[in-house]
Amino acid sequence: MSSLRDYGLGDSTENVTSKPRLVSGQLDEACPNCGGIALFGIHVDVEHPNLKGSKGTGFYVGCAACPYASPMLMTAGTVKPKEEDAK
């Protein structure tokens, strides 16, 4: 049985090299798993051999109320957190 975060694509957490960072406030959409309104946009730093320079940023939508997380979109390059987010 695969977890709600798997989607048959394997575990992408092996590529994550940082703690998750919120990049948006609460989204106006309901969670497709639990129906709650607790979805947030999340960035993580990633390392993957298919990315230019082997490093980049991953973005996904996660639910704070249940284990739901969307598939992660990985892009080459990094997104620097805003100064107020780094505190």
Q: What percent of the chain has pLDDT over 90?
A: 26
Q: Tell whether the model's pLDDT for residue 86 goes beyond 60.
A: no
Tokens of 7: 């989607």
The amino acid at residue 47 is E
* Other CB atoms within 10 Å distance of the CB of residue 61: 19
Q: Give 46-85 pLDDT, tens digit per residue.
A: 988 888 888 999 999 999 999 898 888 888 976 666 655 5
What is the mean pLDDT of the segment spanning 21-43?
90
Q: What is the pLDDT of residue 31?
A: 93
User: 44 and 13 in contact (C-beta within 8 Å)?
Assistant: no
